[in-house]
A and B are shown apart, each in its own frame.
Chain A
Amino acid sequence: MMFITGDPAALMAGEDASRADVERIRAQMGFERPWHVQYLDYVARAVRGDFGVSYRQRQPVFGLIMERLPATAQLALTALALASLVAIPMGVIAATRRGSAADYVAQLIAMTGQAIPPFWLALMLMLVFAVNLRWVPVSGYQDWTYMILPAISLAFAPMALQMRLVRSSVLEVLRRDFVRTARAKGQRGDVVVIKHALRNALIPVVTVVGLQLGGLMAGTVVIESIFAWPGLGRLMLNAIYAKDIPIVMAGLIVIAVIYVLINFLIDLLYTLLDPRIRY
């Protein structure tokens, strides 16, 4: 990836740099070394958290990324919490009252939610609630009101998927013997659903929610650029446009590491939800 963008030294030096300037930067950054030496050097530094220096901003890349990560995490976690808060109750209602009006509404939302492009939803919400009604600010990053539109735009698609999953998972669990036993004991209907059915139904949901968090870290790219949100996504997008390769590479690696960490945490979470699972 570092070698298909043209001459990085020329890129760093800028447009009206002399040939000597370019050569000086080339020697400074070590671009004249053979590619495999550069690569091994990169890997050796990267595992110690040193991802090199940004071509454009001339600052250590790792610092730039860590500076932006909280804003993205804040947005992604809020969106995910929002999605789950809506999706789990609605999914349970849809499953327990199968075929009712509520079920149809939930299924309709679930289907459309997966089809609507998030950035289109973002524009439409912006048009209606920020431009026309003026209820919320258009874009920026100040108090919590700035978070409302980006979080909703980002939450809609994962919410739809979770809702489908909760519904089918609860439906499946409700057919099992232990649910019948609980009902036969004379327990109240909602206790059966919440204590017996939901807890068992949530395991596949937890898996997907975790995967969604990883996906959301990437999904914020477009939303952050629409709402001028100062997160990792916008940093990476600008770096991509500017061919600032160290930032792009480090950003991809950081996101992949987060993704792996989340998967690990989910595996641990299973044991809490279901004591039968042991590692």
Chain B
Amino acid sequence: MRRFVGALYRTKIAFAAALLLSFVAFVAVAGPFLAPHDPNRVNVLARFVPPVWAERGSPEHLLGTDSLGRDTFSRLILGARVSLLVGLAAVAIGGLLGTTLGLIAGYFGGRVDSTIMRLVDIQLAFPGILLALTVLALLGRSLGNLILVLGIVQWAQYARLVRGHVLSVRQMEYVEGAAALGARHARIVLRHILPNSTAPIIVIGSFSVATTILAESALSFLGLGVPPTVPTWGGMLSEGRDHLVRAWWLATFPGLAIAATVLSINLLGDWLRDYLDPNLKTVL
């Protein structure tokens, strides 16, 4: 752990990204205690108040208010929750599903392998975002559905990656050794093969958190994310779009929050790839 943090500290840009990400995570967890206002409190007397540094700005609302007089800064803070939660949970679901199927395909080979890999090909041919959009429109919008859908549409990339890795690890002497000693399939896969495939899974998973956050914000922007009472960055952007001319700040700050978070995750993912296994650079 200490070596990990030390190596992280030496790479200035990755360290900065980690700091920013920890800050976003802290805000996401402690959101309700940090927000100066109730994010859903409507105040018609204070509609379209610009940010504090602009003319007519008020120190009461650091980043201004929206068309209903709700505090942008507080909504921004609460929005961090949905983005991070959906990003992490969906990747966990997709990663688990994809890794399991990839392990099975790579280890058993044969007809099982070709069936699973054809499913991968089919899944990859359908654009994930459109599929998610369709399913959400039919099932209805809720946080659970959002996480589930964004998780399931990304299983194929893990399956393909893990299968490829398993194929190379399978031939290793220690796997043959374990089999010769009479280990069962489950033990060989979980104790000998999986631990040697974790580096690429972690790396691709970290990049996927970033793309999932972008996908979540796009879905919320289109009005198919979580229910509208929950503030999200994508949802705020969508409201800001309707008042682009009158209130530039409404669309500007949520976008900055998304971009900064995603950028940090990508920078950290880059670093993680180089740290865990420099050879991955040519593959991922």
Chain A complexes with chain B: yes
Residue ranges of A at the interface with B (Cβ–Cβ < 8 Å)? 1, 4-5, 111-112, 114-117, 119-120, 123-124, 126-127, 131, 168, 172, 214-215, 217-219, 221-222, 225-226, 236-237, 240-241, 243, 248, 251-252, 255-256, 259-260
Q: How far is the CA of A243 from the CA of B127 in the complex (A)?
A: 19
A252 to B129, Cβ gap below 8 A? no
* Minimum C-beta distance from A207 to chain B (A): 13
Cβ of B193 within 8 Å of any chain A Cβ, yes or no, is no
Q: Of B133, B245, B258, which one neighbours A117 at CB under 8 angstroms?
A: B258
Residue ranges of B at the interface with A (Cβ–Cβ < 8 Å)? 125-127, 129-131, 133-134, 137-139, 210, 214, 217-218, 221-222, 224, 234, 237, 240-241, 244-245, 248, 251-252, 254-255, 258-260, 262-263, 266-267, 281-282
> Are A123 and B251 CB-contacts (below 8 A) given A222-B222, A240-B137?
yes
* Minimum C-beta distance from A234 to chain B (A): 11
B263 to A111, Cβ gap below 8 A? yes
> Are A123 and B240 CB-contacts (below 8 A) given A218-B130, A248-B134, A252-B126?
yes
* Minimum C-beta distance from B112 to chain A (A): 24
B262 to A240, Cβ gap below 8 A? no
B251 to A215, Cβ gap below 8 A? no
Contacting residues, chain B, for A123 (C-beta < 8 A): 237, 240-241, 244, 251, 255
| B interface SS class | helix
A256 to B125, Cβ gap below 8 A? yes
Taking each of B217, B237, B255, B260, which has the highest tally of chain A beta carbons within 10 Å of its own beta carbon? B255
B125 to A221, Cβ gap below 8 A? no
B255 to A120, Cβ gap below 8 A? yes
A243 to B259, Cβ gap below 8 A? no
A-B contact pairs, 29 of them (CB 8 A): A1-B134, A4-B139, A5-B138, A112-B259, A114-B266, A115-B266, A116-B255, A117-B214, A117-B218, A117-B255, A117-B258, A120-B251, A120-B255, A123-B237, A123-B251, A124-B251, A124-B255, A126-B244, A127-B245, A168-B281, A172-B282, A215-B127, A218-B129, A219-B127, A221-B222, A237-B133, A237-B222, A240-B137, A259-B127
Contacting residues, chain A, for B252 (C-beta < 8 A): 124
* Minimum C-beta distance from B140 to chain A (A): 10
Q: How far is the CA of A116 from the CA of B218 in the complex (A)?
A: 11
A131 to B245, Cβ gap below 8 A? yes
Closest to A214 in B: B127
Closest to B267 in A: A111
B130 to A116, Cβ gap below 8 A? no
Q: Of A218, A222, A240, A252, which one neighbours B221 at CB under 8 angstroms?
A: A222
Contacting residues, chain B, for A4 (C-beta < 8 A): 138-139
> Are A241 and B138 CB-contacts (below 8 A) given A123-B237, A123-B251, A236-B130?
no
B221 to A241, Cβ gap below 8 A? no
Contacting residues, chain A, for B282 (C-beta < 8 A): 172
> Are A222 and B255 CB-contacts (below 8 A) given A1-B134, A240-B137?
no
